[in-house]
Structure 1
Amino acid sequence: IKEIEVDYKYDVVFEDNLLKKASVIIGVDDKPYADIITNRTDQTYLITKNKKKESVIENAIHYATIVLYFKEPIGIDSCYSEQDGSFNTIVPLGNHVYKKINAKKHENVYYYEGGYLQKAEIDGGLIKFEIVAEN
């Protein structure tokens, strides 16, 4: 077993219920791993990964993955992944529990109470972990 340190820095801004910009910087063992930027320009979004133009998204983005940590996704069936510039599927499982399936088919499960996240089971590919809210 090898111990690694992974640092995530998210800076996500919504304005008038639309994603305005997102910046995700990931470091592994104090070394840069990924730098993903999403910027809204007029009616589209420009996605840049590691300083290279990756893609353009033409649809408005109203819900992003980071919001799952703060607000129950009632009536939401997809969310934008600030981490990789793709869209994830959200499946309601009942009883305020939701499954998020990302582009690599990894599944995370989110548990809410009173509209707030209580627990999340995260499949990060190489690692799996759980986040539990402190009361």
Structure 2
Amino acid sequence: MLLKSFKPVSFVITVFFLLLGSSLNCFSQTKTNKYDIVLAGFTIGSMQADKTTSPKAEDYQLHSKVEFWFFGKIHVEFLQNVNFKNGQLMKATTKSDSNRGNFVTTVNWNKDHYDVDANSYKFHNEESIKQAVYGTPAKLYFQEPKNGDELISENFGMLTKVIELEKGVYEIDVNGNTNTFYYEGGILQKVVLENNLKNYSIKRRVD
């Protein structure tokens, strides 16, 4: 009875789809890191960072939401998508929605330069970048940098260089504000971001 109920065609089809699913997983993998956003000791929001890797491309997404009171309620939602191919930055899009306005910044590789259209609160930049670049701040959430690494700020469309302050501690200047990244064992633990109103931190969440 067991032999009669065995269906070779059905078995082969099942194995095929199992192998196909396994193969697809090998070609594209996503890693997720979660963070709390902290201001003056209070958690005011959260951020999720995703990295999706395939044989020739890397895609990064940062998504955060913040709400706090500063002479009125302030709400900010931030979404950033960054694409690398063969190690080089190809495209970055940053969207921020807030009660101070909604802004979009794009950085796109165009043959031999990056077209920049950067917009944020009281800031606009359209100066192109005439060189290939292989890093951005979004990458730093998954990879410890090296001293002297050159990055493009996705939000402002400007070049910046990584400065190593000490082992595991790195600094970049973004449009006149300093962002400091702290690593332990190659894993990002905290980012301290300088702000005109008040410095705040992005801290790794361990669930």
- RMSD (Å) for aligned C-alpha atoms: 2.0
With normalisation by structure 1, the TM-score equals: 0.86
Partner of 2:195: 124
Does the CA-based 8 Å contact 1:89-1:102 persist in structure 2? no
- Aligned match of 1:66: 138
1:85-105 Cα distance to aligned partner (Å, 9 max, x none): 11123210112111112232x
Counterpart AA for 1:38: V
- 2:205 equivalent to 1:134: yes
Task: Confirm whether residue 77 of structure 1 aligns to residue 77 of structure 2.
Answer: no
Q: Which runs of 4+ in 1 moved over 3 A?
A: none
Answer yes or no: is 1:36 the counterpart of 2:105: yes
Equivalent residue letter for 1:129:
Y
SS, match of residue 55 in structure 1: coil
Q: Is 1:99 matched up with 2:171?
A: yes
The answer to whether residue 184 in structure 2 is matched with residue 110 in structure 1 is no
Matched positions, count: 132
TM-score normalised to structure 2 length: 0.58
Unpaired segments of 5 or more residues in structure 2?
Answer: 1-69
Task: Measure the CA separation in 2 of the matches of 1:101 and 1:53.
Answer: 16
| Residue 18 (structure 1) aligns with | 88
Distance 1:101 1:86 in 2: 10
**In structure 2, which of residues 63, 72, 76 is the aligned counterpart of residue 6 of structure 1?**
76
Q: Percent of pairs identical after alignment?
A: 27
CA distance, structure 1, for counterparts of residue 117 and residue 179 of structure 2:
25
Work out whether residues 9 and 24 of structure 1, in 8 Å CA contact, stay in contact via their aligned partners in 2: yes
Structure 1: which amino acid aligns with 2:111? Answer: D
Distance 1:13 1:125 in 2: 30
Q: Counterpart of 2:97 in 1: which secondary structure?
A: strand
Rg larger in structure: 2
2:18 equivalent in structure 1 = none
1:47 maps to which residue? 116
| Residue type of the alignment partner of 2:164 | P
Mapped partners of 1:108, 1:5: distance in 2 = 21
Verify the 8 A CA contact 1:46 1:53 in the aligned structure 2: no
Of 97, 104, 124 in structure 2, the residue corresponding to residue 27 of structure 1 is 97
